[in-house]
Chains A and B, each alone.
Chain A
């Protein structure tokens, strides 16, 4: 019985059976993303009260914090798939890692950009060399490195494996980089402003942030699945089943 289940799950490890499954799942994730975005944006713009210290400007955290969370989370997921692809030699896992990288990079960029927009009115500067900002910047560089390495290698399998090693080295390094930047910051007595020192936020703000995070999460899955489908088509273009697909036949 349990044996059957295992076979059942591994079935979707092959691009051929995953491609239609992903196609069926994508609309659902878009629907979920839209629902969460509507609720989250409604809470963040209409229900959440104006902050008595930061005024209306604080509302950017409803975009900023979920983007920052996703940028870190996607790196872990990407490294997980890349590592799985390296260990089990499954093509789909590596394609998944490749599909996640641009979304992660966009999230990292978005968190930096919105952070700058928030920092100007709150701190009076677009950028401070705060530990979080600096480590987010380095995370963005790590994403760019991963994408650039994969783009530079023509052989797809080699690109997968080289990228996997880089992602795994990056995962080991991310906590080291984070703590080193944090200690560097305390040594230099740099920016003394920190989110953690802010008064604890109202429950409704927290809810808005969590729902927005869910919306970002669903959006990331939908986009990554769409991208992985494109990668499958590109890499499996020589196979019979791709040639048989109605969207390819046209």
Chain B
């Protein structure tokens, strides 16, 4: 457990020392969200309807940006080899890295989303659902994304390949995440969607670090 906390602290410290990378993903999120009204037109009823979808798609893309950095720097300077050799199980260390990735890229999105939601004229309670859905969904994105990041480690054209591998797997998160907000707005209640999202998260917490570890071991062979 100490090892996990140490890894999280280390990765967060590294992220704080290189603030520009975290901020780039955040501004990317803001810019993508603000591009949609420009492309679609300022009609507020339409924008309000598609706001949850836009925010979620932008969140998917913004988490994708940080994924390439999840293991690549550690792979380049040999830290990853040391983690494999460390007495603590690699799965735990990987979990720590994923948690740190979520805190540095997922959590800021969750905190920023309601502000952007206001631009789209979402009601206060819909914003609340959006935050809860993102809170459940963004760790899921980090977990699934970590598998892709480990698989494409040190591979030619890794960044583009990563999005090709990971984005189809993000589909359920997108559907239930954006669906929760829409279901709430249309009066159906968001409970079902949020439960499913939480179920997916539980499944991913169990399986994703395991698959990521296996992929990392293959990459380091």
Contact = CB atoms under 8 A, between A and B. Distances in A.
Contact of A184 (B169, B179, B188, B221): B179
Nearest to A153: B155
A165 B157 contact: no
A165 B169 contact: no
Interface string A158-196: 100110011011101100110011011001000000000
A90 to B, nearest CB: 16
Given A161-B218, A166-B151, A180 B171 contact: yes
Contact of B179 (A148, A158, A165, A187): A187
B165 interface: yes
A234 B179 CA distance: 48
A183 B175 contact: yes
Main secondary structure of the interface of B (DSSP, over half): helix
Interface stretch (B25-33, B57-65, B207-215): B207-215
Given A149-B152, A153-B155, A158 B168 contact: no
Contacts of B211: 165, 168-169
B157 A141 contact: no
Q: How large is the interface on A (under 10, 10 to 19, 20 to 34, 35 or more residues)?
A: 20 to 34
Contacts of B161: 145, 148-149, 152
B218 A165 contact: yes
B168 A180 contact: no
B147 interface: yes
Interface of B: 147, 151-152, 155-158, 161, 164-165, 167-169, 171-172, 175-176, 179, 182-183, 188, 196, 200, 207, 211, 214-215, 218-219, 221
